[in-house]
Structure 1
């Protein structure tokens, strides 16, 4: 076949530029980071979370007051330059106690959420992948645990263990992991019919490898969102349990126990209740704003 000039068409400069790629190619996680950084509310929530975490870690170290030190001569002082949040009925500085409460509340929220996510992901992944009778038995167990109120777990654990940090983390973990198991199970059941799972089976991958290396990573977006939204839920549940006397015991201080201690004199000293309640509210709002932002950023359908 003879090649001639007539077989080709001259393309002008304007036509060539129309074929250029004007948007750089981004990976999934690069696109997630780009979109989450454009969400002002999500970044505001993330900024507040970082701020409260840093102040909780370093604030008590830098303060001249100790969260357990009592001074009855300085009891029930209003907020001032010396005591930014005032003092409680024992003369303890409320600012330091709120920061110490942030340590306890954030630790409980993060540890309980991470443990529940870990258990729920493995459990839900196995249940969703194998299906059939395995799925039926495992989901009946989940439903039985889900039907029991969390307060019952707390009371039973308190009978075996002493009230404290460990007890409340165990109670929250037992209560929270079932929700994660249900979410992962649903995701796995929809993904296990995909071609990449069939390809993995064809090359001889084991069931556990398929679950851990192929299916669960494809659920990572939903897992991260659930983790982000479960932290404020755990913080609120801990605050509620401490408020009714089933959570953190003295001399430790959480936001819930601080609110409980302030309840008796809130009409005379409202600031003692306002500051821990405000800390709970703002922290929960920040995590929810971040979780909402991650929901849209991690959704592949939102990519443009």
Structure 2
């Protein structure tokens, strides 16, 4: 009544491809995007240089030396010197430190506030959702420049003022995206199963809903960082940023405008740093969007 199963049929149901997690699969697809990987490497390098160069260089970012003012790029001063004789390479790297700090801290605050606000709004729904979204609409209608002026008039200009202004206005997009994802996910069966098992609303939101929409959250966060860098540079360029002798890319560009036609290199290098960094974050964000979205699998 029984036959011995052939050897080739015994292995038909074996899993040939090793099992990989969601993040392993996303990293495998991200590595195929050469532009995204190059952008990631560039971001890592500029971050390391922003930390190491000002600390290790023999030139100080704030020490004036009028004997070597406005020198062209050379072997000793790679980016030349400014009108006060300060090394431009060190100052550009030091400016990267403040620009990236402002961008990352503002994005972290945006990450926390936006996720919690949008998650609560989408999960509770009803009247609470409508009221919370109307608050978002009202905040959206106020230009960020108003926030900056009000905050600076209260606590003064500086690094903290810019971070608070960005944190107040930049979490709105994140809240809307998280709300939309939670509205879709809360109708799924796994949420109903968690409720049946007695899970609290906070546990369902923090342990089940938000982790399942982490892909769009990371992509949005990556794309908001270059916006924060550009906004900080713009605010510093018009004089609402850091005060001397501290500098960001925006303040370096603003200082270089005084001698634009005579010493254009002083504007060229901070401008290129802004452009390349923003481009790298945008390309990385596009790569993360393609790799974290299962629908993009080919």
Deviation at 1:22, TM superposition (A): 3.2
Q: CA deviation at 1:234?
A: 0.3
Deviation of 1:11 after TM superposition, in Å, equals 4.2
Aligned to 1:252: 246
Partners of 2:199 and 2:218 in 1: CA distance = 26
Q: CA deviation at 1:279?
A: 0.2
Shift of 1:227: 1.1
Residue in 1 that maps onto 2:207? 213
Offset of residue 161 of structure 1: 1.0
- Deviating above 3 A after TM superposition, structure 1's stretches of 4 or more consecutive aligned residues are 8-13, 15-22
Q: How is 1:197-276 mapped onto 2 (pairs within 5 angstroms)?
A: 197-276=191-270
Q: 1:100 is matched with which residue? A: 94
User: How many angstroms does 1:41 deviate by?
Assistant: 0.8
CA deviation vs aligned residue, 1:158-198 (integer Å, no higher than 9, x gap):
10011100000000111101110000000000000000110
What's the CA shift for 1:241?
Answer: 0.6
Quote the offset at 1:17 in angstroms.
Answer: 6.0
User: Structure 2 CA distance, aligned partners of 1:67 and 1:274?
Assistant: 18
**Partner of residue 44 from structure 1, selected from 32, 35, 38:** 38
- Please give the alpha-carbon distance, in whole angstroms, between the structure 1 residues aligned to 2:119 and 2:37: 31
Is the partner of 2:259 in helix, strand or coil? coil
How much is the aligned-residue C-alpha RMSD, in angstroms? 1.4
Q: Tell me the distance in 1 between the aligned counterparts of 2:68 and 2:12.
A: 75
How many correspondences in the alignment?
298
**Cα distance in 2 between the residues matched to 1:94 and 1:230:** 28
Instruction: Write the distance in 1 (CA, Å) between the matches of 2:20 and 2:207.
Output: 23
User: Aligned pair 1:297/2:291, yes or no?
Assistant: yes
User: Which consecutive unaligned segments of at least 5 residues does structure 1 have?
Assistant: none
Following TM superposition, by how much is the alpha carbon of 1:209 offset from its aligned partner in structure 2, in angstroms?
1.1
Q: Deviations over 1:52-100 (max 9, x none)?
A: 0010001111100100000111111000111110011111110000000
Q: TM-score, normalised by structure 2?
A: 0.97
Deviation per residue, 1:198-239 (Å, 9 max, x gap): 011111111111111110001111111111111111000000
CA distance in 1, matches of 2:199, 2:77: 62
Distance 1:90 1:162 in 2: 26
Q: 1:162 is matched with which residue? A: 156
Which residue matches 1:280? 274
Q: For 1:31 and 1:91, locate their aligned partners in 2 and report how far apart those are by CA, in whole Å.
A: 51
CA distance in 2, matches of 1:57, 1:72: 26
* Equivalent in the alignment of 1:24: 18
- Report the CA distance between 1:303 and its aligned residue: 3.4
Structure with max Cα Rg: 1
